[in-house]
Amino acid sequence: MALRIVHGWKGLAPAERGAALALGNFDGVHLGHRQVIALAAKAAQDLKAPLGVLSFEPHPRRYFQADVAPFQLMSLPQQAEVLDGLGVDVFYVLPFDVTMAGLTDEAFAREVLAEGLGVRHVAAGFDVTFGKGRSGSPEHLKDYGARFGFSVSVADQLLGPHGEKCSSTAVREALAAGLPELAAQLLGRAFAIRAVVVHGDKIGRTLGFPTANMEFGDYVRPRPGIYATRTRLADGREIAGVAYIGMRPTVNGVDERLEVNLFDFDEDLYGQTLETDLVRFIRGDEHFDSLEAMKAQIARDCQTARDLLLPAF
């Protein structure tokens, strides 16, 4: 059964209610999130109920801090695709607005979970918070479940490869440090930026390294510099390449860019949506004294990325 996306929690049809639900924000759907979803999936199987995941749009952090720096790990379509691959039946995307922000933890459990969604089970992380002022806890959730008619399971803390808490924050910190491999270990897949190709300054083409230029939107900003990448095209092809992330100091850039050079590729991509995995950090951003010096370094970067990504013949 294909994933259904439900926007809202009031007046739902019977087929959209009664799920075993994973509760959280699920930005990144990292391995800790997957542990919560696995608990909900077990309950769904036992109860013969649909498997649901609940998240919010916009992210509560964006609602309360409108000017906060970009921080998201994935777009809503990316979230939906990953959840579909995990066997989720219903993705509840609830509007985080003044009404939602004003609900106490008890009101959220009663009005949203029990009365609105009609949940039969709720799975949550060991550190889940919910309700106004983030006052709800796993213990509160268990109490409300007993009162309002749904069972509750709580996932244990999951640690990353270096003993760090597996969390969206840890993924963001790994990306900020130029460690996409660690981010991938925490996520269970590579961190990927999905965006539309837009017209740039075409400087790369004049240097012999044409790039697909994409805007970041609300994605978290990884460490500026050069990365080995894999990019999926709209038609499904996956192409190795090298990407630049940064402000382009050598050419006096004024905005942050993701610029991807696709190896052995020369097709028009303007207006297409691409998804680029950050595979390995190669070097930090630099200012060059001339375009010739920058061109020579780009050639070295491309060779480094080829050696990392492409098999030797």
- Give the CATH number for residue 44: 3.40.50.620
Domain count, the chain: 2
* Domain annotation covers residue 108: yes
Task: Give the 3-state secondary structure of residue 273.
Answer: strand
pLDDT at 162 (0 to 100): 87
* Domain annotation covers residue 221: yes
* Domain annotation covers residue 160: no
Helix axes 180-187, 168-176, angle to 10 degrees: 160
pLDDT at 73 (0 to 100): 96
pLDDT at 313 (0 to 100): 43
pLDDT at 207 (0 to 100): 56
Residue spans of beta strands (DSSP E) within 76-224 = 90-95, 121-125, 151-155, 192-198, 212-214
| Enclosing domain of residue 263 | 181-308
Q: 129 and 40 in one domain?
A: yes
* Domain annotation covers residue 165: no
Mean pLDDT by 10-residue block, N- to C-terminus, for the chain (313 residues)? Answer: 90 94 93 96 97 93 87 94 96 94 96 97 95 93 97 93 90 97 96 90 61 90 96 95 80 72 91 96 88 88 92 57
Q: 103 and 21 in one domain?
A: yes
| pTM assigned to the model | 0.90
Q: 198 and 145 in one domain?
A: no
Q: How far is CA 243 from each of CA 25, 66, 75, 230, rounded to the nearest angstrom?
A: 29, 29, 20, 9
Q: 140 and 78 in one domain?
A: yes
* Domain annotation covers residue 28: yes
Per-residue b/e over 64-95, b at no fewer than 16 CB within 10 Å? eeeeeeebbbbbeebbbbbbbebebbbbbbbe
Q: 239 and 141 in one domain?
A: no
Of residues 159, 158, 266, the one with CA closest to residue 211: 266
